[in-house]
Amino acid sequence: MGVGDDLDVAAKEFTAVRGRLFGIAYRVLGSTAEAEDVVQEAWVRWQGVERSRIEEPAAFLTTVTTRLAINVAQSARVRREAYVGTWLPEPVNTGADPQVGAERAEALDLAVLFLLEKLNPVERAAYVLREAFEYPYRRLSEILETSEANARQLVTRARKHLAAERREPVGRAEHRRLLDVFLAAARAGDLAVLEEVLTEDVVSYTDGNGMRGASRIPVVGLAHVSRYLAAFAPRFWPGTEVRWVEANGRPAALVTEGGAAKVLVYADVSARGVERLLWVMSPEKLAPYMASL
C-alpha cells in the first residue's frame, strides 16, 4: 500500500469517530474552539503514529483526545480565573450540529457543563466518558491511566456533586412552557409572575466577559433576582426580538436587536420552577452559535 493510500485509510478511520471525539472534548472543555483544537491535534498525532501496530483506532483516538482535553482543561482553569465576570460554557446548536449530540444527551446540558467546571479535569473526563458515552470502568481506567477502583470513585464523586447541586430537570415541553412564562414576565418587568416562576434559591449568571451591562457577579435568591430583572427590563428589552432556538439539547431564547445577537437565555428548570438562569452575552461565544443558525 502506498503512502497516499495509507493516509486515505487513516482519514477514513479518523472521520468515522470524529463526531465522538469532538463530543468528548467539548463536554470536557465547554468550548467549541478548544474542542476543535484538541480534535485537530488528535488527527496530527494519528497521522504520525505507527498505525499498523494499533488494533483499535477508535480506542486509540479516544484515549489521545481525552488526555489532550484534560491537559487543555488544566491550563484553561488558570485562564478562566482571570475571566471578567462569570465564565459560562459556550452554547452549541445541537439541532444543526450532529457532532455534539453523539449517542446520548448526558453531560451536554449547559447547566451540567457549568457545574462540571467545579470538578477537576480528570473527574470531569471520567464522568463524561461514563455518563455520555457509556464506557466501561475498565476502559476508563486505561484511558485515564488509573485503577478501575479509582475510575469508579472519580465518576461517583462527579455524580454526587451534580446531585447535590442540581434537581431533576423537567421534560422538554414543560421546560419550554416555563421559559416562555419567564421571558414574558422578564420583558414586562412583571414582579409578581417572576416571583411565581423562579425558585426561592434561584441564581442568575451572566457571561459578558466585562462588557457593559453584563452583571459581573451572580445574582442570588428570589427577591434579588426578581427585582433585578424587573428593574433591568425597561433598559434591556425595548427594540429586541426573541427567537426560540435549541442549545445543548434544550429550548433556549435568542434575543436580537437590529439583527445582531444580544444574549442567549438558557434556563435550568426543575418541577419547582427556574433554578438557574444562564445569560450568554459574550460576543465571542454568541458568534459561533449565530453562524450555526
Confidence of residue 100 (pLDDT cuts 50, 70, 90): low
> What would the grid cell of residue 291 be?
453562524
| Rounded-to-5 percentages of helix, strand, coil across the chain | 60, 15, 25
- Please indicate whether residue 225 or residue 6 has the higher confidence score (pLDDT): 225
Whole-prediction pTM: 0.91
Q: What is the pLDDT of residues 133-164, one digit of tens each?
A: 999 999 999 999 999 999 999 999 999 999 99
The set of residues, in sequence order, having a beta carbon less than 8 Å from that of 68 and lying 6+ positions away, is: 25, 38, 41, 42
Query: What is the chain's mean pLDDT, rounded?
Result: 92
